Structure formats: C-alpha cells, structure tokens
Amino acid sequence: MKAALEFSLAGKVVLVTGAAGGIGLAAAQALASSGARLMLSDVDPARGAKVLADFHALGLDARFTPCDVTQADSVIALIAETVAQFGRIDCAVNNAGVEHKHAKLADHDDDDFDRAIAVNLKGVYLCMKHELRQMLTQGGGVIVNVASVAGLGGAPNLAGYAASKHGVMGLTRSAAIEYARRGIRVNAVCPSFVNTEMVQRMVERNPALADTLNNASPMRRMGEPEEIGRAIAWLCADDSSFVNGQGLALDGGLTAW
C-alpha cells in the first residue's frame, strides 16, 4: 500500500496578486503552509505591509511588492522584482479582482463595466503575459487564475463581471494549449460566493442579497476563503501534474444543478 498523499510546495517560488485579503490571502496562507516561498502583491501597500508582518511573525519566507494589475509597467516591475528577489517564479496565482454594482445589463454603469474588465480581464492578461515570458525562460511553471462560476455560466445582475470571468477562462484554456509542451500548466478556479470583503460589500449595498448568496448552492452556504486557498495550492503542486486548461468549480454543487 502506498503512503498517504500529502502535497508539498517546498522551496517553490509563488507569486500571488490581490494577496492583502480574502481569497488571495487564504491562498498565500495555504501555499506557505505547504512550504512555498511567497511574493505577495496587492494594489493596497498598507494592507500588504500588515499581511507581510503577519507572515514574518510566523517565520514564513515572504516578500511584498505593490502592483496595480491594470498597469503594464506595474506588472512588469512586479515580475522583475520577484525574479530579482527569488531568481525564478515557479507558480503564479492571478487572483486580484473586483466586483461591480448589481444591475441588469441595460442598467449597467459604464465605468463599473470598464473597471471590471480592466482589473479582472486585462489584469490577468498582463500578469499571464509576463509570467509566461519568465516561465519560458526558466523552462516551466504553473499558473492558476481566479475566475468564478460566473466564468462558466451566466450571472444575472453581474453581466460585466461574468464577461470578465468568461474572458479569464478564454485566456486560461488558450494558454494551457499553447504552452502544454513547454512545461507550463495553466488552470483556473471557479468559486461561487465566498465569504470575503467582496461579498460583504455586495450585501452592504443590497442587504436583501444575503439570503440569495447564502442559499445559492445545494449546500446552502457560501464558501470560506480557506476552501478556495487549499484548492489553489493543490493546483500549484506537482500532485495535479495532469490537470491543465481546467476551470475547477468550487461551488458546493451549484453548477451541478
């Protein structure tokens, strides 16, 4: 009988965007507990510094570099800084994202739509482009994008968000095929509603939503950030070595309906 499986990221250098809270922070914590060395990044340097201090207090190997993923120069500087600090990027978790106000498409706010596309889609595109260049140079790597169940199907009142996340799935699947024989795997996680500040902001704007979000899945609860973080860490690890081009639904069975 084989020994029990326990995946390891010992010594792997992992970059996480949007790491100052929510799913990005939970992913960073899961990755660190599996032995990864972390480059944490976020558009919010104050929260990033606080998270970094918490990691250092636990003796974890982590650095922080601020980055706005909507800006190519900022993304290029983040990749360069990661390579300068650690010498390589074994895995990249492209997690930074924003929601927009709930509204049917005919009532969408154009600025909201532009923002969702800029952060959620262009941001992932820019990160992937420059991560892939580094991974090609070093001979391999793993990318995990944080999409959504709204990247797998329609999302009423969130059409702009859904469009951005469908775009992330397009980038994920295309790059997975393009680089499969260059030692690079590309996957996405597709969570349903997860208990983070993003969802708290949605409920603050529209308190009636709380009931809908809590009862959306067959499990009749939201996901916890740690449940998403652990799946991200598994997709980064060699234990998922034949998983490529997938959007892994983490949704308590929502998409089974």
**Residues known to be catalytic:** 161
> Restricting to residues 53-82, which ones interact with ligand NAD according to CB under 6 A?
67-70
Q: Are 160 and 171 in contact (CB under 8 A)?
A: no
Check residue 92 for interaction with ligand NAD (CB under 6 A): no
Q: Are 83 and 134 in contact (CB under 8 A)?
A: yes
Check residue 234 for interaction with ligand NAD (CB under 6 A): no
Check residue 52 for interaction with ligand NAD (CB under 6 A): no
Among candidate residues 179, 186, 80, 171, the one with its CA nearest the CA of residue 130: 80
Cβ 10 to ligand NAD, closest distance in Å? 26
Check residue 43 for interaction with ligand NAD (CB under 6 A): yes
Among candidate residues 19, 61, 23, the one with its CA nearest the CA of residue 43: 19
> Restricting to residues 121-140, which ones interact with ligand NAD according to CB under 6 A?
123
Cβ 211 to ligand NAD, closest distance in Å? 15
Q: Are 48 and 42 in contact (CB under 8 A)?
A: yes
Question: In the numeric block, which tokens belong to residue 31?
Answer: 């990755």
Among candidate residues 185, 63, 69, the one with its CA nearest the CA of residue 130: 69
Check residue 188 for interaction with ligand NAD (CB under 6 A): no
Distance, CA of 241 to CA of 9 (rounded, Å): 13
Size of site (CB under 6 A) for ligand NAD: 30
Residue numbers at the binding site for ligand NAD (CB under 6 A) = 17-18, 20-24, 42-44, 67-70, 95-98, 119-120, 123, 146, 148, 191, 193-194, 196-199
